[in-house]
Amino acid sequence: MTRIDLTGLDVRPAQVWGGVRLVPLVRAEPVPGLRLHREIHRGYGGLGAVDLPDRTTYTSYIPHGFVADWTGTGSGTGAESAAYGTRLGDGGAGRGGDSAPACMPVRRIHRMAKRRRDPEGRAERRLRFLPLHLALEGYLALHFGGPSTAWEEWSGEALRHGLSPRAEAAYAGWAVPGLAEALRIFEVHPGQCGLLLYVADALAAAFVVPHPDDYRLLHPTLIEDLYGELVHQYACYGGPVPEFTARIRDGAGGIRTLADLRAAAREQERAWAVAHDGLMARDLLETSYAFERVYRAGPFDLHRFLPPFRRGGPEQHIGELITDHKGRAVYLKTFRLSENQIRKGHLLRRLADYDWHLGRTAEALGTSYAEVVRRVRGAGLGTLLDAHAVAQRLRENQES
């Protein structure tokens, strides 16, 4: 599997609010054997620290968790916390009656995806996972170990700890101008199981679930999801987009009955759907991804995926999906990368391909040693370089 297969889903005419375009995705029949719902029994809605199998920790604002069911159907004592703001002091209760700084709990969560168990410890046919964070952690973990060979240009910190810590910025949905209002007034179609979200007519995210009832329950979570820097910029600076309109002309045959009018309207819907699939969502569906299976849940597989990180190419997304036994997407959630994030992924892959040797990487990229150093620093990885060794190598290259 290298591509996203949305077989079984049909598009309906878009709904527009300002610069936000929402395209409904409907199923003729729900996917049997899988349901999704929001987990409400844990203290989400704040800062979460996820313990990963490789003994690293992923920290982010985590608004909610999802539970995949394939059966067919405040901080306590000693909890970690993060301070709001910063103050200087002696570490005590404060002078002049000052109280300790306000804190918010950091909830520890075990793994991105974990099978649920009943009170007696028996495994249930339900899987709890953290939507979008599963995909974002996969992006942050890209070549996280750093240089595998102790080339002199890399600092001791890079050789000991790799890219740790590594961070990327994202915006919550309510911080994207116009999105909250668009989702509030959005009309849910009969049989709707997802949507494609566009901002300034650029695809921002895709969301798919197996059952219409799941979509109705999970639609409000879209405002709590994370969206990339590029999406936020388009929402701030992009203008209103044109609404979907259909013009039915009275041709030679004429429209004489309601049946004729209904047939003409359906033809317009089909034409719009073909145009949408062939143009607006083409990059998402035609890109070849690198898939990693995270969990097998009965006849369904949970994957996360990374794009090819082609510089100067079409839009690129990371995400996660659940597929059935035929490889068709029954659950999908995507996050659009910015150009800077694509360039960083491309650079990390090229460095890893050439064992983190800056000279050989420069030759493979058809550029100079100095340019590769500039790109490393531009990607925010400059602290991993040994400044003295790099400066010496640059002088040698200039002299030669």
What letter represents residue 47's amino acid? L
Q: Are 371 and 362 in contact (CB under 8 A)?
A: yes
What is the torsion angle, in degrees rounded to the nearest 10, for the CA atoms of residue 38, residue 47, residue 165 and residue 54? -50
> CA distances (Å), 25 to each of 199, 325, 393, in order?
17, 21, 55
Residue 272: the pLDDT is 74
Residue 101: the pLDDT is 52
Measured distance CA(386)–CA(153) in Å, rounded: 5
Q: Strands 103-110, 20-27: parallel, antiparallel or unpaired by DSSP?
A: unpaired
**Taking Cα atoms as reference points, which of 300, 306, 339, 355 lies closest to residue 322?**
300
Q: Are 75 and 55 in contact (CB under 8 A)?
A: no
Band (pLDDT 50/70/90 cuts) for residue 75 is: very low
78-100: per-residue pLDDT in tens? Answer: 444 444 444 444 555 444 445 55
**Long-range pairs for 292-295: beta carbons < 8 A, 24 or more residues apart:** 292/138, 294/112, 294/113, 294/129, 294/134, 294/320, 295/113, 295/115, 295/127, 295/129
Q: In what order do the strands lie in the sheet with 65-69?
A: 35-39, 65-69, 123-129, 113-117
Tokens coding 356: 């983190």
Match 């199981």 to its residue by tokens.
Answer: 193
**Taking Cα atoms as reference points, which of 245, 246, 244, 234 lies closest to residue 198?**
234
Flag whether pLDDT at 104 surpasses 80: no
Q: Domain coordinates of the chain in residue numbers?
A: 1-73+106-242+274-338, 340-399
Band (pLDDT 50/70/90 cuts) for residue 398 is: confident
User: Phi and psi (nearest 5°) for 40?
Assistant: -120, 5
Cis, bond preceding 242 (omega within 30 deg of 0): no
The DSSP call for residue 253 is S
Q: Are 390 and 153 in contact (CB under 8 A)?
A: yes
Residue 206 bridge partners (DSSP) = 196
The per-residue pLDDT of the chain, averaged, comes to: 85
Alpha carbon 133 to chain centroid, angstroms: 7
Higher pLDDT among residues 287 and 78, named by residue: 287
Measured distance CA(180)–CA(190) in Å, rounded: 22
Using a pLDDT cut of 70, give the percent of the chain over it.
87
361-391: per-residue pLDDT in tens? Answer: 999 999 999 999 999 999 989 999 999 999 9
The DSSP call for residue 13 is -
**Taking Cα atoms as reference points, which of 220, 269, 230 lies closest to residue 247?**
269
35-64: per-residue pLDDT in tens? Answer: 999 987 666 888 888 988 888 899 998 888
